[in-house]
């Protein structure tokens, strides 16, 4: 790219690159995993245990399991197909699950040996371990941010210059109020 110096090139590369929210942004320690959830990443062994636990409830397709795990963890944990399907294949190789082809999809269910293995988990639910220690208010804050960003973007695209200026003022005022919340002393030291 001619005519640009190294600083301009670096700025162009950085523009549009967003590495996610800052550390400790309402989701506990650490950064959000690429496809995982806020600040938490489930161990590989949890996918196997989660599959056994889900299949002990009813037969499911692999994608159904992914959706179910995402729903049960409020979006914190959405294992990738690259984690779920190899785990299901391993369970099938071990004789713990069987897969029946149904309309081109494989419906997985537990074998007798699989039910025994799932029973060994007891009351342990791997999806509960993923969300352990996360305050529900963190989910409410996270879930409130998305619609605000969508609305702001819509005003930026379709709003008149006056509407865009008003939206910018609202967002700046909101930012000031959020920082004011942090500046307040907590009522109880245990709250911090």
User: pLDDT by residue (tens digit) across 60-98?
Assistant: 999 999 999 988 887 788 888 999 999 999 999 999 999
CA neighbor of 121 nearest in space, from 53, 51, 68: 53
Tokens for 39?
A: 């600040």
- Amino acid 157: pLDDT: 94
Give, as one character, the DSSP assignment of residue 5: -
Sheet holding 60-61, edge to edge: 60-61, 105-110, 97-102
pLDDT computed for residue 20 by the predictor: 45
Question: How many C-beta atoms lie closer than 10 Å to residue 72's C-beta?
Answer: 19
Is the pTM here over 0.95, yes or no? no
Residue 180 has pLDDT above 50, yes or no: yes
Q: What is the mean predicted confidence (pLDDT) over 100-115?
A: 88
Lowest average pLDDT, out of 45-49, 107-111, 148-152, goes to 45-49
Give dist(CA 6, CA 80) in Å, integer: 37
Distance (Å, rounded) from C-alpha 31 to C-alpha 160?
Answer: 36
Q: What is the mean pLDDT of residues 122-126?
A: 85
User: Under DSSP, is residue 118 helix (H, G, I), strand (E, B) or coil?
Assistant: helix
The answer to whether residue 100 scores a pLDDT higher than 80 is yes
- Residue 25: predicted pLDDT: 44
The yes-or-no verdict on residue 119 having pLDDT over 60 is yes
Asked which of 15-19, 91-95, 187-191 is least confident by mean pLDDT, the reply is 15-19
**110 vs 132, higher pLDDT:** 110
Environment class of 121 (CB within 10 Å of its CB; exposed 0-12, middle 13-18, buried 19+): middle
Q: What is the mean pLDDT of residues 164-172?
A: 95
Q: Which tens digit of pLDDT belongs to each residue from 21-55?
A: 444 444 444 444 434 444 444 444 489 999 999 99
CATH class of the domain defined by 44-131? mainly alpha
Output DSSP code: residue 82: H
């Amino acid at each position: 790219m001619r005519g640009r110096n190294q600083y301009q090139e670096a700025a162009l590369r950085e523009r549009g690159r967003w590495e996610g929210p800052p550390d400790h942004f309402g989701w506990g320690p650490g950064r959000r995993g690429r496809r995982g959830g806020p600040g938490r990443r489930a161990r590989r062994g949890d996918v196997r245990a989660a599959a056994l636990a889900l299949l002990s409830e009813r037969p499911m397709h692999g994608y159904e399991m992914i959706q179910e795990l995402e729903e049960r963890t409020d979006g914190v944990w959405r294992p990738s197909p690259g984690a779920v399907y190899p785990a299901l294949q391993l369970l099938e190789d071990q004789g713990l699950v069987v897969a029946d082809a149904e309309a081109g999809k494989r419906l997985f269910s537990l074998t007798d040996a699989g039910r025994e293995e799932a029973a060994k988990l007891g009351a342990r639910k791997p999806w509960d371990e993923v969300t352990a220690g996360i305050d529900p208010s963190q989910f409410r804050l996270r879930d409130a941010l998305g619609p605000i960003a969508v609305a702001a973007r819509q005003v930026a695209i379709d709003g008149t210059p006056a509407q865009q200026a008003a939206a910018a003022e609202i967002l700046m005022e909101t930012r000031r109020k959020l920082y004011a919340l942090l500046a307040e002393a907590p009522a109880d030291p245990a709250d911090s």
